[in-house]
Chains A and B, each alone.
Chain A
C-alpha cells in the first residue's frame, strides 16, 4: 500500500498544500484504501464507493486550507469529509430507496476477516479482543456517521447507554492499543 514511510501531519499538509503530484500520491496511497473500505460500508456498492471516493478526494484537496489542527487529527478531518460525501450520496434521490440497513454493522465486522490489507501488526488481535457491543457502537457513530439518535434507534439502545458504551469502547480500545505498542 503506502510505499513511502509515514510522514508527520505537518509534512503531509505541506505536501498537499503545495498541490503537487507528490502530495496527491501520498494522500491517495496512504488513505485511499482505508477510506474506500469505510465508504463501502456506507454505500454498499463498489461503483458508488468509487464515485464517493473521487468526490471526497477532490473536496479534501480543495479545502485543505480549512483544516484546523487544533480541532483534531488530519485523518479525522478527512474522514469527516469522506463520510459526509458518502452519506450525502445515500441521501440523494437515486438511492433514497436503498435504506441503510442494520446489516451494515454486521457486514462491517465480516469485512474485518476479509480485509486484504491487514498491515497493522497486532491490529487483528485488538479488534478481536474488543467486545461486539463496543465495536458496533464505534462503527455506527464514528465510521458510518450516524447521529446519536439514529445510532440509538438502529442499535436499540437508550441514549444514556449508548454514551456509556461509546466511552467504554474507546477506553478499552486505547488500553488494548497500548498493550501492543
Chain B
C-alpha cells in the first residue's frame, strides 16, 4: 500500500480513537516504527485531539496541587513506609480479629457468669438472712430455756438442800381403803417448820374441786394449804408447822374449806 493511501485510509484515526483491531494495532505500530511519516501522522491526530481536550479545562481546587505533591514525593522518597496502624498485614489483622472476637466472646461469657453469680449470691444472701433470723430466734429461745433451766436448777438445788437437811423428815401419806392406790409425800423440816408436798398418785380432781392438805395438830385438822397442781415436778410449798402428829389430804370445793370433808379423805400419814 502506498504511504499516502495508507495515511488517508483512516486506519490511523481508528488507531488513535481505539477503533482498531488487535491485528491492526500491531501492524500500525510496526509501520510507525519503520516510517517516520506514519509516526508523525499519528502524533498530528493526537495533537488535534489534545487541542480539543484543552477546551475541557477546569481549575481543580487550590489544595489539590499540594495534596498531589506531598503524595508524590512521599511515594518517591518514602522507601521505608511509615508504620501505619491501619495498614497492618493481613495475618496480624486476622490474629487481631480473632483476638477481638475472642475478647468479645470472653466478655459476654464473663457477663453471663457474673449475672449467674449475682443471682446465686442474692439467693444465698436471702437464704442466709432467713437462717440468721432463725438462728436469732433459736438463740433467744435457748437463752430463755437456759434462764428457765437456771431457775429449775436453782429450785432443784434448793429442794435438794432442803431434803438433805438432817431435820427434814419425809412422811408418806398412804391411800385410805376407799382409794388404795392414792399416795402423797410430805417433807417437813421440824427446825424451820417448812412443809413441802409432792403427789405420788392422786386422781385428777373433778372441776370445781381442789385437794387440800391438813395437819393434824393435837387431834384437830388445821388447814395446811391448797394444792394448785396435782402433777408438778417440784415440791409444793405448804403452810409452815412447828408441831403436827399427822398429815392428810381431802378433796374440797375450789378455794378450800375451813374444816375437812372426812368422807373425801384420800390419803393420810402419821408423823
Contact = CB atoms under 8 A, between A and B. Distances in A.
B177 interface: no
A54 B67 contact: yes
A61 B72 contact: yes
Nearest to A9: B43
A46 B257 CA distance: 128
B69 A24 contact: yes
A115 B57 contact: yes
B64 A53 contact: yes
B167 interface: no
Interface residues of B, number: 41
Interface string A107-124: 010011001111110011
B54 interface: yes
B72 A24 contact: yes
A86 interface: no
A174 B44 CA distance: 8
A89 interface: no
Contact of B32 (A71, A123, A127, A166): A71
B47 interface: yes
B178 to A, nearest CB: 122
B2 interface: no
Q: Which label, helix, strand, loop or mixed, suits the secondary structure of the B interface?
A: helix
A84 B56 CA distance: 17
A57 B76 CA distance: 12
B32 A117 contact: no
Contacts of A117: 57-59
Interface stretch (B10-18, B90-98, B183-191): B10-18
A124 B48 CA distance: 14
Nearest to A166: B17
A167 interface: yes
A28 to B, nearest CB: 5
Nearest to A77: B46
B76 A177 contact: no
Interface string B35-52: 000010011111111111
Interface of B: 10, 13-14, 16-19, 29, 32-33, 39, 42-61, 64-65, 67-69, 71-73, 75-76
Given A34-B57, A126-B51, 18 more contacts: A1-B59, A32-B65, A36-B59, A50-B60, A54-B71, A61-B72, A71-B32, A75-B46, A76-B46, A119-B54, A123-B55, A142-B49, A145-B18, A163-B19, A166-B17, A167-B13, A170-B49, A173-B49
